[in-house]
A and B are shown apart, each in its own frame.
Chain A
């Protein structure tokens, strides 16, 4: 079993290395909005996407060689999952369209369904839910919900679904209530360290001028607004996180936070080049204002979309993961347990299903 994952991971890394060496390009300081003008092309996302697909194919091939079938992939798609997927797709589309068109908030909220399916059913199921959501959102859903750019971001949804699926499989979304304060404090500190470490690394790259937001010499009013926005988000996040952690005394809050921020950063990385090169940084939602603000600050297209992504995506995915965690908490134990990965989302309890006295489970 492990062999498959190792082979897939190895293939993934090899493809990334080859890609980076031959055509890897992280272009900033450029303003052409087209992939095919090489100065404007950021190929890391493509390489990553291709690597993901290759890794998946290798995984499937190894599984086929080992077992003559695709059990671990097919098992993610039992009837229950098949029934949940359309509901998840609808949730993605409706919430995403409402937020983008009606509310104009600088977040997306279009991945709740993807992450829910990923957690309950597995990475492949989550990935397909996300992909299908984006494709249908563009081609088949009528206005006012239709969203033209969505299909191009299908690969981002795939990545999000995979992350959620793997996290669910690893048991990171299992509730861990009533832990001692010491454990909570350590968990909280580790989570915050990871989040800020990643955040600072990502932000420092793109926000060289960021800390000037608050400097008195900068008279541009847009920067004051964006600066305060960042500050407010920052404070809200820390307070909310600490509050949830210690009020609910649920250690999983730390896991969910890290998961949200990491997924958000990766999503930003994959989606920014698509946004910049296909749509010139504009997709019709509230995030466009942020892009405008960063462009005003002198950033080129690539950098501006990255900066916007690094702001919106982690917040968006953080909120989404928390919403999914709450939804999972609201679902009955019995309902969750029947899903392919459902067992890994349940609180650890003593084993109840005793198979004695002639009791038997389903044979078929």
Chain B
């Protein structure tokens, strides 16, 4: 199942200028696409549009088309769209439903809302928990978990909806290093399993490790787009306010200091 954005523009309610201008993007099955750009470039807005929350929940106006396998989803209500595209946000605690005392019920919240038969709710919940390896947390109170663990619970809650695509809006931005590691590893595993993910991040290291393609936004437009390795090595990244990933920066620093990088790479390539 492929999501296609064609000529997408979006303007928040009461805003004079649009937040997104003429975006074309495709997210296919099994693809992991990264979204980078300075703050206020429109990364979050693009995530909201992709998931359908904009304009359904957030208001505002949209132009262009969003199609799933060619079918226009403009008239789809949010609960139908949420079963195709899941979205996770930065703040781990505001994604909790606040009506559950255990992680199990928290993850089951989505399928329960969908009115699925009880057995299916339970089997989906177990599947989601094991996909994120948080089976051990089933009995814990979600409010008492660490930020990283809460993000995993949020992701499990989304997986339980069986979406075809996942949209992650800076999932590690509000986490401490331990949490970032936890969530980063989980996302890497999902990507390795063949999930279709669009992940917006400032931490280009994470993008470098999992993304096959990368899109860089600047002031609501696509500035760079292409295979991840190429985009990350592009010298224009810096001017766009995006930090290159550590290996690239290290290489540049070494070159600037006068080291012969090619020979160093040879020496270290014994693995």
Contacts and interface: CB of A to CB of B under 8 A. Distances in A.
Report A-B touching, CB under 8 Å: yes
A352 B14 contact: yes
Interface residues of A, number: 17
Interface string B75-106: 11110000000000000000000100000000
B87 to A, nearest CB: 15
A358 B63 contact: yes
Contacts of B12: 334
B62 interface: yes
A360 interface: yes
A360 B74 CA distance: 10
A353 B57 contact: no
Given A334-B14, A353-B14, A362 B56 contact: yes
A361 B74 contact: no
Contacts of A79: 57
B57 A361 contact: no
Interface residues of B, number: 23
B58 interface: yes
B59 interface: yes
Contacts of B59: 334, 337-338, 361-362
A197 B49 CA distance: 55
B253 interface: no
Contacts of B254: none
A117 B119 CA distance: 38
Contacts of B15: 352
Nearest to B10: A359
Nearest to B53: A362
Contacts of A362: 55-56, 59
B238 to A, nearest CB: 33
A78 B175 CA distance: 31
A358 B78 CA distance: 22
B43 interface: no
A176 B61 CA distance: 28
A363 interface: yes
B61 A355 contact: yes
27 contacts: A86-B98, A334-B12, A334-B13, A334-B14, A337-B13, A337-B14, A338-B13, A338-B59, A352-B14, A352-B15, A353-B61, A357-B63, A358-B63, A358-B64, A359-B11, A359-B61, A359-B62, A359-B63, A360-B61, A361-B59, A361-B61, A361-B62, A362-B56, A362-B59, A363-B75, A364-B77, A364-B78
Given A79-B57, A334-B13, A357-B63, 4 more contacts: A333-B14, A337-B59, A338-B58, A364-B77
Q: Nearest 8 pairs between A and B by C-beta?
A: A359-B61, A362-B55, A364-B77, A358-B63, A362-B56, A363-B75, A359-B63, A363-B74
Interface of A: 79, 86, 333-334, 337-338, 352-353, 355, 357-364
